[in-house]
Amino acid sequence: MNMRKAVTASLVAGAVSLAAFGAHNAHAAADSKEKCYGVVKAGHNDCGDAAGKHSCMGHASVDGDANEWIAVPTGLCEKLVGGSVKAGEGGKSSCDAKNGCEGKEDKKG
């Protein structure tokens, strides 16, 4: 009987340790996030925009707005096309496949 109690106590202690370790890792993962502006799809922002147009999650009205943000792992934002860790920077180019370049001069030559 004593051996059974010892094994049960060990299993419970192990489960508690794993749960505490998992909670610590989840907290650490949450700490390693940064706001990434300019990469949000319409309706998929994490919170209010930097320009003060709204203060709620999911209210981004256009794709790639430089004032809308989502939380991404630290270091990822600058690797994303249009991504910036500073509000008002990044976002879509004014000339892209969807918007074209009407009214823009070709500066190639």
Confirm whether 108 is domain-assigned: no
Residue 16 belongs to domain spanning = 1-31
Counting residues of the chain whose pLDDT is more than 70, the rounded percentage is: 59
Q: Is the dihedral of CA 64, 69, 73, 78 positive or negative?
A: positive
pLDDT above 90 for 34: yes
Decide: 45 and 57 in contact? Cβ < 8 Å.
yes
| Position 49 in a domain | yes
pTM of this structure: 0.56
Shared-domain flag, residues 40 and 62: yes
Q: Which residue has the higher pLDDT, 28 or 61?
A: 61
Contacts of 55 (CB under 8 A, 6+ apart): 47, 48
